[in-house]
Chains A and B, each alone.
Chain A
Amino acid sequence: MAHHELTFSEKFLFPLDHKYVGLQYMWTALFMAAVGGFMAYCFRMQLAFPGESVPLWGVVTPQNYNAFITNHGTIMIFWVAMPLLIATFGNIMIPLMIGCDDMVFPKLNRLSYQVFFVSTVVLFASYFVPGGGFGGSWTTYPPLSARAEYSLTPLGSSMWLGAVALEIVAFLIGGINFLTTTMNARAPGMKMLDIPVAIWMINIATVLFMFSVGPLVAGAIMLLLDQQLGTSFFVPSGGGDPVLFQHLFWFFGHPEVYIILLPTMGFVAEIITTFSRKKLFGYKTIIYTSFMVGILSMVVWAHHQFIAGIDPRMANIFSITTIIISIPLAIMFLAYIWTLLGGSIKFELPMMWAVAFLLEFLIGGLTGLYLGSSAMDIYFHDNTFVVAHFHYTLMPATFFGGFAALYHWYPKIFGRKMLNGVGKIHFWGTVIPFNCIFIPLFLLGIAGQHRKIYDYTHFPDLMQSGFQDLRVFATSSLVVMLCFQFLFLFNFVMGMRLGEVAGNNPWNSTTLEWACPSPPPHGNFGETLPTVYRGPYEYSVPGSDVDFLPQHIPAKA
């Protein structure tokens, strides 16, 4: 089987090579992050300076506002978090870390990106049709979303729904590839418990996705029929029940956040072992607790519906399961802390982002405990406390974890490291403003500020002294944080030319992806694919003269 030099079309237009498919996902995700960030900028400017013209946009009308908050959420979850964490690193890293030459179904892989690309186009198109983009929140609850006379976006709502449905199909297709490749195409000698945690996590996330998204696909079809044909699956006047849609949505929606979290936990495991030169503490425990998190995540969904009118007895049950799910997560967290303890820590950029993720996610997770209690939720539902909670969980998972993984594997993908000084400025310029955005939102939430409100000047209780100042402070911090992201863009692009040349293994890491050249050629490992002789985290092994033993180096006789 000849590995020829790839043509332009085979690299950038219609790639079959998993690395280039992964890069397509990555560029799309980074672009969409800019779009989603711009939307956040616009709606926060409206909240901080109500009614005033926003630079680079103009006046944000109520309909604009609704469309911005809806699409900000939709884009960040479906077009940034999933493509960046799962599709990019799943595609690029799985064959490299398990030691094979490509995914098992390259054409299916290419197809998955093509479907994803179409979904992105449909989403953008939905903004330009008469009526404008959908503004019924990323949760798209009916009857608002089911009837054009309520949503006021007859075309936009269906196109938005179609875009999300296509994105789901793209990930189902891609997911089959990830699972089959991991299960079947592993290097000889790589048993299940020799698989790096990052790969485990991407696969567990994929399984969770495939099990939980089905009912939402059914719900989306029913909602689409309600919108376009006038059926009444979810419209009470025709015999439907809106709460049914909520169940279908959150049955997927809750596992979705763990689908976003788990890959980042995996990347962080790779990074903390490499940069503390220490074996992962409790590898098996981490794997088993991730299974537990996955299974439990499928029985907590109605905590998003505590106030929706569900049966209070069910609210009790879901409260209990929600509190229980913090246990396996806490165990995983402690295992990571134990890995760091006593290690010889090097604060390279990937490690800085990984530690930042752990600390910020801790805050997010702890605030989730408050929200998991159905009684507290009576006060907190639809409140910016909830917004701050999920940004303290999702943003570290998506962006801090995403940056950690990008800084860590950039040398492998592009052959050079990113610039260190610029990277450190970007790091602090992101982490500090991030906290300045969301701590005010916790405080305002406790004071009773609702979310999804266009103009707080209409609510005297929420215009008490200091409140608007907090909003302005949060918005200004957002602007600052967004400005610092230009540094990342600069670093990403210029690193390919100016960065320090990385050899095969710039971080002295043990896993298989560091055994091939940087960047890897088509076919990854050349004529002979690697064989595995040990587990993935053999650092600082007593009696060894080097402080790491790569997986593919045979044991000395």
Chain B
Amino acid sequence: MKPIATDRSATGIPTGRLAMWMLLPGEIVIFGGLLACYLVYRFHNPEWGVESQHLNLYAGSLNAFILLTSSLFILLAQHAAEKEKDFEAAFKWMWATVICGVGYISVKAYEYTHEISEGFTITANVFWSFYYSATAIHAAHVFAGGLAIAILSFSVRQGKHINRVELTGIYWHFVDLVWIFLFPLLYIAG
């Protein structure tokens, strides 16, 4: 029961993709707002450099690699679905992406556990407050994106809603991009 409106495209961009290009700037200003606050505090508190050394650089790097690879997987899924019309392969690549997401969250959970047990809780210091809130919000977006891809995969396997693979892909790449900035900000420049 799709309205006729949904298939119109006066701009030339399909409706779904246009909507994604509106969602992303909204998300950029949310994360950007949080990070602008972090930056402004960070310049004012140079001693936070000491705090960030307690972050696990290897875990952060591994997570960056996992997300980059998962971005590749969702693109391969899009390629399989749109160009090759191989819906089984698309399904598998989508699940590869989801598993990477699960991996990301597992690594983060490991990091959190370790850090909290050492006493670096969210209230220890404003640096840690930012670290936990920024990475947790990011992880929530990873979770939401992964969930969306997982649910979509079943339709895609049957050849339906193929255009949505690209849309979830765009969202997923965005989530990846946030980590590409968040990781150096907290773990390296920290």
Instruction: State whether the Cβ of B13 lies closer than 8 Å to any Cβ in chain A.
Output: yes
Instruction: State whether the Cβ of B45 lies closer than 8 Å to any Cβ in chain A.
Output: yes
A residues within 8 A CB of B41?
A: 241, 244
Given A172-B26, A217-B33, A225 and B133 contact (CB-CB distance below 8 Å) = yes
Instruction: State whether the Cβ of B129 lies closer than 8 Å to any Cβ in chain A.
Output: yes
Q: Is the CB of B123 within 8 A of A231?
A: yes
B 80-121 contacts with A by CB, 8 A: none
Instruction: State whether the Cβ of A371 lies closer than 8 Å to any Cβ in chain B.
Output: no
- Bound CA span A232–B37, Å: 13
B residues within 8 A CB of A395?
A: none
Q: Which residue of B lies closest to A103 (CB)?
A: B5
Count of CB-CB pairs between chains A and B under 8 Å: 132
Q: Is the CB of B29 within 8 A of A212?
A: yes
Q: Which residue of A lies closest to B121 (CB)?
A: A229
Instruction: State whether the Cβ of B151 lies closer than 8 Å to any Cβ in chain A.
Output: no
Smallest distance from the beta carbon of B15 to chain A beta carbons, Å?
A: 5
Q: Is the CB of B25 within 8 A of A225?
A: no
Q: Is the CB of B22 within 8 A of A221?
A: no
- Bound CA span A229–B116, Å: 14
Instruction: State whether the Cβ of A179 lies closer than 8 Å to any Cβ in chain B.
Output: yes
Q: Mark B150-188, 1 if CB is under 8 A from A, else 0.
A: 000000000000000000000000000000000000000
The stretch from A94-102, A323-331, A417-425, A461-469 touching chain B is: A94-102
Name the one of A172, A210, A215, A231 contacting B129, with C-beta atoms under 8 angstroms: A231
The stretch from A78-86, A180-188, A474-482, A542-550 touching chain B is: A180-188
Max count, chain B CB within 10 A of own CB: residue among A104, A106, A185, A229: A104
Q: Which residue of B lies closest to A95 (CB)?
A: B5
Q: Chain B interface: which size bin?
A: 35 or more
Q: Which residue of A lies closest to B45 (CB)?
A: A239
Q: Is the CB of A233 within 8 A of B1?
A: no
Q: Is the CB of B4 within 8 A of A100?
A: yes
Instruction: State whether the Cβ of B19 lies closer than 8 Å to any Cβ in chain A.
Output: yes
B residues within 8 A CB of A201?
A: none
Instruction: State whether the Cβ of A312 lies closer than 8 Å to any Cβ in chain B.
Output: no
Smallest distance from the beta carbon of B78 to chain A beta carbons, Å?
A: 21
- Bound CA span A340–B133, Å: 54
Instruction: State whether the Cβ of A77 lies closer than 8 Å to any Cβ in chain B.
Output: no
Q: Chain A interface: which size bin?
A: 35 or more
Q: Is the CB of B19 within 8 A of A217?
A: no
Smallest distance from the beta carbon of B102 to chain A beta carbons, Å?
A: 24
Instruction: State whether the Cβ of A38 lies closer than 8 Å to any Cβ in chain B.
Output: no
- Bound CA span A150–B34, Å: 25
Name the one of B37, B45, B123 contacting A248, with C-beta atoms under 8 angstroms: B37
- Bound CA span A13–B9, Å: 30
- Bound CA span A84–B129, Å: 38
> Which residues does A use to contact B, with CB under 8 Å?
1, 16, 95, 100-106, 172, 175-176, 179-181, 183-186, 190, 210-219, 221-222, 225, 229-233, 238-241, 244, 248, 251, 529
> Which residues does B use to contact A, with CB under 8 Å?
1-6, 8-11, 13, 15, 18-19, 22-23, 25-34, 36-37, 40-41, 45, 122-123, 125-126, 129-130, 133, 137
26 CB contacts below 8 A, A to B, read: A100-B4, A100-B8, A101-B3, A101-B4, A103-B5, A104-B5, A172-B26, A175-B22, A176-B26, A183-B11, A184-B8, A184-B13, A185-B6, A185-B15, A190-B10, A210-B25, A210-B26, A211-B25, A212-B29, A214-B32, A218-B34, A219-B37, A222-B133, A231-B122, A233-B130, A239-B126
Which are the 7 A-B pairs with shortest beta-carbon distances? A214-B29, A215-B33, A102-B3, A185-B5, A218-B33, A218-B34, A214-B30
